[in-house]
Amino acid sequence: MTAHILIVDDEPSIRETMREYLRLSGYETSVASSAEEALAAITACPMEVVITDIMLPGIDGLALTDQIKASWDVDVIVMTGYSQEYSYEEAISKGASDFVFKPVRFEELDLRLKRVLRERLLNQERLQMLDELKKLSITDGLTQLYNSRYFYSQLKGEIERFNRYGHKLSLLLLDIDNFKIYNDTFGHLEGDKILVRIGQIIRACLRKMDTAYRYGGEEFTIILPGTPGEEARTVAERLRTAVASETFSSAGNATVQITISVGVTQYCREEPVSGFVQRADQAMYESKQAGRNRVSC
């Protein structure tokens, strides 16, 4: 992709010569004669690098650098004459990526520009990688729901919010019924496919605020912020029905019905995280005791 460079200088001949040089070097270019014009140009059009003179009428190049770095992910290279008292340190401390003396030697500017663009790319790759790592660290690899580590950190956060604002908070814990039999009959790989499909059904049943987690092997949790127990029960019932009415196909094309047992709890003030999860687990266990494929509170 061609980088877009904005040249800011109040001297038209400098602007235009630089623009021509950069255009011939293969860059997309724009020009501005003041900091105000430059800010308008950055607002109007995404760009990678601004090359700005320091001495400008109105806002100067250092203040412009400051403003750019505060609001945009744009690199800045500043230019200044040898006779002016502005220093390299000043420019860099405002967030400039590099500094060139005027009159500008284009070969030098081009080298500096290439280095800035290369570092930009590396930085973007680094950020992307961090983003992917972060996603991996909170995601369950099989179902692509969140994992249990993230469940506990999110639940703690929701409980803190509850204690501060008093919004209702509910939790669902669901467990696939007789899943061992399914695995023993069709094999572990077929069992995994069921887990993936159940994950999809859960996701489709959730409201915007709700988050779902693979809590353990064939157990899932759902955090429902701002939701009282009765409403959570309705969500649980909808989920239970969605799973029970789905026809799962297994290896050898046999069709199978799968059911889930669900426990629902509403958070009680000052209750520890573990107590809250235990009550959901207890409610789920009651669903099992009562014959499975049901919801208990």
Complex with ligand GH3: residue 52 or 147, whichever CB lies closer: 147
Complex with ligand GH3: residue 110 or 219, whichever CB lies closer: 219
Q: State the residues that interact with ligand GH3 by CB under 6 A.
A: 175-180, 183, 188, 191-192, 195, 217-218, 288, 292
- HSE-CB for 160 with a 13 A CA cutoff: 6
Query: By CB under 5 A, is residue 10 in contact with Mg ion?
Result: yes
Is 90 noted as a catalytic residue in this protein?
Answer: no
Give the Cα separation of 236 and 160 in Å (integer): 24
The footprint of Mg ion on residues 206-225 (CB under 5 A) is 219
Residues 6+ apart with CB under 8 A from 263: 172, 173, 174, 279, 280, 281, 282, 283, 284, 285, 286, 287, 295, 296, 297
Complex with Mg ion: residue 22 or 198, whichever CB lies closer: 198
Q: What is the DSSP string of 172-207?
A: EEEEETTHHHHHHHH-HHHHHHHHHHHHHHHHHH--
Distance in angstroms between the alpha carbons of the first and the last residue of the chain: 57
Query: By CB under 5 A, is residue 179 in contact with Mg ion?
Result: yes
Complex with Mg ion: residue 34 or 227, whichever CB lies closer: 34
Give the Cα separation of 281 and 270 in Å (integer): 19
Q: Which helix (H) or strand (E) holds 223?
A: strand 219-225
Query: By CB under 5 A, is residue 37 in contact with Mg ion?
Result: no
Give the Cα separation of 126 and 47 in Å (integer): 20
Query: By CB under 5 A, is residue 53 in contact with Mg ion?
Result: yes
Using the rule CB under 5 A, give the single segment among 7-15, 96-104, 155-163, 186-194 that binds Mg ion. 7-15
Q: How far is the CB of 175 from ligand GH3 (least distance, A)?
A: 5
Q: Which of ligand GH3, Mg ion, none lies near 55, with the C-beta cut-off 5 to 8 A by kind?
A: Mg ion
Query: By CB under 5 A, is residue 175 in contact with Mg ion?
Result: yes
Q: Which of ligand GH3, Mg ion, none lies near 180, with the C-beta cut-off 5 to 8 A by kind?
A: ligand GH3
- From the list 48, 158, 190, 218, the catalytic residue is 218
3-state secondary structure (DSSP) of residue 170: strand
Residue 36 burial (10 A CB sphere; 0-12, 13-18, 19+): middle
Complex with Mg ion: residue 28 or 152, whichever CB lies closer: 152
Catalytic residues: 218
Give the binding site for Mg ion (CB under 5 A): 10, 53, 55, 175-176, 179, 219
